[in-house]
């Protein structure tokens, strides 16, 4: 008996998923951006006229307030290099007025952080990494770690010039990945306009990729589409940078004071924490499967260029190449962290979508170790090195797993990670693993031993009362000799000071004056510490100065008042009249010597 005829069975394609309404996608994006702004805004304790505002608000305040700090050396006699930030602050003050100026700065800060969240979404969309990768990146950068290498950070609690330029730079990277060169040039120009450092770093990071593309296509069209709008938009800052480089400097060698004494944590390769390097290396290795397996490799190419520039920063710092060190290439570690976080999120999503039995535990294990790195637990904090040393081999296995099946290739992919792990272990042990030419800096090692702990002898409450009293009970034109560690004195007391640790110029001839003033205030022949430790070491040295020495310095420099912690009788014998006392410190008026 013949079987009845049957129609052939065909495998039916799965029904396409219904596309979500556009308004729902926009609502999701707005929710993500709002979460990013709130998370980063309140991650670090927010403040106004604190932190780096002690330096960056001086230039705009010179224009906003006609009688601002008369006679202050740093405010009026040094070169300020954040002109765009000054224009922004002056515009906010003109719009909001004196009463709502601080609130306007807060809203601008929130808008900048929201823009960075939108930039993360733009990169994820351009590289087709998915929105889930943006949420993972937000969790890593907002909860686990919002700092990169050498002090580069998304936020520090105040609105900073570099923070305003970061979102346009990341948006320029997203536009380049999406093959929109004109848009990339415009975003890159805006980034350079807002911050002079990005006016240099932007072309450095995209120029190799554009040049390679021009050679392949034998056409300069794409290169010109990026270069022309960048040059036009960033021209004011480019002019300022060129003027600063061409301006005569009578003591260019003194720039080492800034790189090695004032801010080695930004420029000295020996100051880089090995745990920070391990964290970034692990994140990059975990992101490798998503970056390397995408058919479009533009994001991977950009990552390689950023890594190469960080390597150049390492060589420049080790060999003390002043021109390259001054460019602060370490700032590029921040967008590199953002790309790596996005790649890790995409790799985790891809592993789950394909049900990869090896990739899922590797990616989830890496994510859990990264999250455990910041849990508020004493024992886990002590175990941070162990967590990261465990993370590196796991991340190396993730990289080897995404490479072709050939065992040799897999082994080759794991070798760089294992070599990095070995070097980090040696560096953590204090050995110079890079040979005699590139040793770990002894200066940085000493600076790391002295943690910038708040000294107990000037609690913030009493110090705040002292500065409030000075602001309301001394003449506006009064000039003070204060401990160099009192970095809040200028803005909180609204009075000129002789010198402080925070406000440091960026020209050699001006740095020489800063050095002489610092050594005079401390009464030492050399700096007793470096970096953050110098702030408190300078105040300790200042407090040991005899009252007669402080009074003589004040008279010689034409200062009117002295902040002293010496005994009252000693100060009065030196010709200092007590006006008020707050805790260990007193405010003294300098009595002029009789002719």
Verify that 401 and 486 share a domain, yes or no.
no
Among the ranges 373-382, 416-425, 458-467, which has the highest mean pLDDT value? 458-467
Verify that 511 and 419 share a domain, yes or no.
no
Instruction: Determine the average pLDDT of the residues in 523-552.
Output: 93
Least confident of 82-96, 313-327, 544-558: 313-327
Verify that 397 and 509 share a domain, yes or no.
no
Verify that 161 and 265 share a domain, yes or no.
yes
- 21, pLDDT greater than 80: no
Q: Give a yes or no: residue 65 inside a domain.
A: no
Domain that holds residue 482: 460-590
Q: Give a yes or no: residue 262 inside a domain.
A: yes
- 15, pLDDT greater than 60: no
- Rounded CA-CA distance 324/471 in Å is 42
What is the tens place of the pLDDT at every residue in 40-54? 887 766 778 888 899
> H or E stretch including 497?
strand 496-497
Q: Give a yes or no: residue 356 inside a domain.
A: yes
Q: What is the pLDDT of residue 22?
A: 74
Largest CA distance in the chain: 135
- 415, pLDDT greater than 50: no
- Rounded CA-CA distance 319/358 in Å is 42
Least confident of 25-34, 109-118, 449-458: 449-458
What SS3 string covers 369-419? Answer: HHHHCCCCCHHHHHCHHHHHHHHHHHHHHHHHHHCCCCHHHHHHHHHHHHH
Verify that 423 and 519 share a domain, yes or no.
no
Q: Give a yes or no: residue 4 inside a domain.
A: no
What residues contact 509, with CB distance under 8 A and at least 6 apart? 249, 250, 251, 254
Dihedral sign from CA coordinates of 565, 568, 574, 580: positive
What is the tens place of the pLDDT at every residue in 236-272? 888 877 776 667 777 888 888 888 899 888 888 877 8
Number of domains into which the chain is organized: 2
Alpha-carbon separation of residue 154 from 115, 282, 514 (angstroms):
12, 20, 29
- Rounded CA-CA distance 582/459 in Å is 10
Verify that 424 and 495 share a domain, yes or no.
no
Token pair of 372 as six digits:
């455990």
More confident residue, 255 or 445: 255
For 247, counting Cβ atoms within 10 Å of its Cβ (0-12 exposed, 13-18 middle, 19+ buried), the class is exposed
Q: Give a yes or no: residue 132 inside a domain.
A: yes
Q: Give a yes or no: residue 497 inside a domain.
A: yes
Q: What is the pLDDT of residue 228?
A: 94
pLDDT confidence bin for 369, thresholds 50/70/90: confident
- 386, pLDDT greater than 60: yes
More confident residue, 201 or 38: 201
pLDDT confidence bin for 575, thresholds 50/70/90: very high
- 30, pLDDT greater than 50: yes
Among the three residues 414, 429, 444, which one is the final residue of a domain in this structure? 429
| Complete DSSP assignment for 566-584 | S-HHHHHHTTEEEEEEETT
Mean pLDDT for the chain? 82
Among the three residues 407, 429, 451, which one is the final residue of a domain in this structure? 429
Verify that 236 and 293 share a domain, yes or no.
yes
3-class DSSP state of 8: coil
Verify that 182 and 125 share a domain, yes or no.
yes
Verify that 420 and 321 share a domain, yes or no.
yes
- 162, pLDDT greater than 50: yes
> H or E stretch including 22?
helix 22-43
Q: What is the pLDDT of residue 398?
A: 67
CB atoms within 10 A of CB 137: 29
Instruction: Determine the average pLDDT of the residues in 123-135.
Output: 91
What is the percent of the chain with per-residue pLDDT over 70, rounded to a whole number? 80
- Rounded CA-CA distance 282/70 in Å is 51
Among the ranges 17-31, 315-329, 371-385, which has the highest mean pLDDT value? 315-329
Q: Give a yes or no: residue 404 inside a domain.
A: yes
Verify that 422 and 515 share a domain, yes or no.
no
pLDDT confidence bin for 19, thresholds 50/70/90: low
Verify that 208 and 114 share a domain, yes or no.
yes
Contact 179, 297 (CB under 8 A): no
Reported pTM: 0.85
Q: Give a yes or no: residue 105 inside a domain.
A: yes
pLDDT confidence bin for 64, thresholds 50/70/90: very high
More confident residue, 386 or 200: 200
- 158, pLDDT greater than 60: yes
Q: What is the pLDDT of residue 402?
A: 67
Verify that 182 and 290 share a domain, yes or no.
yes
How many residues in total does the chain contain? Answer: 595
In 3-state terms the chain splits into helix, strand, coil percentages (rounded to 5) of 65, 5, 30
């Amino acid at each position: 008996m013949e079987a009845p005829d049957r129609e052939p069975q065909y495998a039916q394609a799965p029904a396409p998923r219904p596309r979500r309404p556009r308004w729902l996608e926009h609502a999701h994006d707005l929710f993500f951006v709002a979460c990013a702004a709130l998370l980063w805004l309140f991650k670090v304790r927010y403040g106004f006229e604190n932190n780096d505002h002690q330096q960056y608000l001086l230039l705009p305040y010179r224009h906003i307030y006609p009688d601002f700090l008369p006679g202050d050396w740093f405010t009026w006699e040094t070169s300020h290099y954040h002109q765009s930030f000054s224009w922004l602050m002056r515009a906010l003050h003109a719009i909001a007025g004196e009463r709502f100026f601080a609130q306007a700065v807060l809203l601008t800060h929130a808008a900048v952080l929201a823009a960075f969240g939108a930039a993360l979404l733009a990169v994820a969309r351009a590289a087709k990494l998915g929105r889930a990768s943006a949420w993972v990146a937000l969790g890593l950068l907002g909860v686990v770690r919002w700092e990169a290498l050498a002090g580069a950070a998304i936020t520090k609690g105040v609105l900073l010039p570099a923070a305003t330029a970061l979102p346009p730079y990341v948006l320029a990277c997203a536009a380049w990945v999406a093959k929109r060169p004109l848009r990339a040039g415009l975003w890159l120009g805006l980034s350079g306009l807002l911050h002079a450092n990005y006016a240099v770093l932007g072309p450095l990071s995209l120029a190799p990729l554009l040049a390679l593309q021009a050679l392949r296509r034998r056409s300069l069209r794409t290169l010109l589409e990026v270069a022309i709008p960048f040059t036009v938009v960033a021209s004011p800052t480019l002019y300022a940078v060129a003027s600063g480089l061409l301006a005569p400097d009578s003591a260019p060698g003194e720039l080492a004071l800034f790189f090695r004494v004032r801010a080695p944590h930004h420029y000295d390769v020996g100051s880089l924490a090995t745990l920070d390097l391990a964290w970034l290396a692990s994140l990059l290795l975990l992101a490798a499967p998503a970056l390397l397996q995408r058919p479009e490799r533009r994001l991977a190419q950009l990552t390689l260029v950023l890594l190469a520039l960080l390597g150049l920063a390492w060589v420049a710092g080790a060999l003390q190449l002043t021109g390259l060190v001054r460019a602060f290439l370490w700032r590029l570690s921040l967008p590199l962290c953002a790309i790596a976080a996005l790649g890790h999120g995409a790799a985790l999503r891809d592993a789950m979508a394909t049900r990869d039995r090896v990739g899922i535990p590797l990616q989830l294990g890496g994510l859990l170790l990264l999250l455990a790195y910041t849990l508020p637990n004493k024992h886990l904090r002590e175990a941070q090195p162990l967590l990261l040393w465990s993370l590196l081999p796991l991340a190396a296995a993730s990289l080897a797993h995404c490479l072709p099946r050939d065992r040799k290739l897999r082994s080759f992919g794991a070798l760089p990670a294992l070599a990095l792990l070995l070097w980090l272990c040696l560096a953590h042990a204090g050995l110079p693993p890079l040979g005699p030419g590139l040793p770990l800096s002894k200066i940085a090692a000493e600076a790391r031993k002295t943690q910038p702990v708040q000294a107990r002898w000037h609690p913030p409450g009493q110090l705040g009362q002292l500065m409030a009293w000075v602001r309301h009970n001394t003449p506006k034109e009064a000039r003070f000799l204060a401990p160099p560690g009192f970095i809040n004195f200028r803005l909180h007391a609204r009075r000129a000071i002789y010198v402080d640790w925070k406000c440091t110029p960026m020209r050699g001839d001006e740095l020489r004056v800063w050095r002489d003033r610092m050594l005079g205030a401390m009464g030492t022949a050399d700096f007793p510490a470096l970096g953050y430790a110098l702030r408190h070491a300078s105040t300790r040295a200042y407090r040991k100065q005899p009252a007669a020495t402080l009074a003589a310095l004040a008279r010689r420099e034409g200062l009117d008042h002295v902040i002293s912690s010496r005994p009252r009788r000693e100060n009065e014998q030196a010709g200092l009249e007590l006006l008020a006392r707050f805790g260990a410190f007193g405010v003294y008026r300098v009595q002029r010597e009789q002719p």
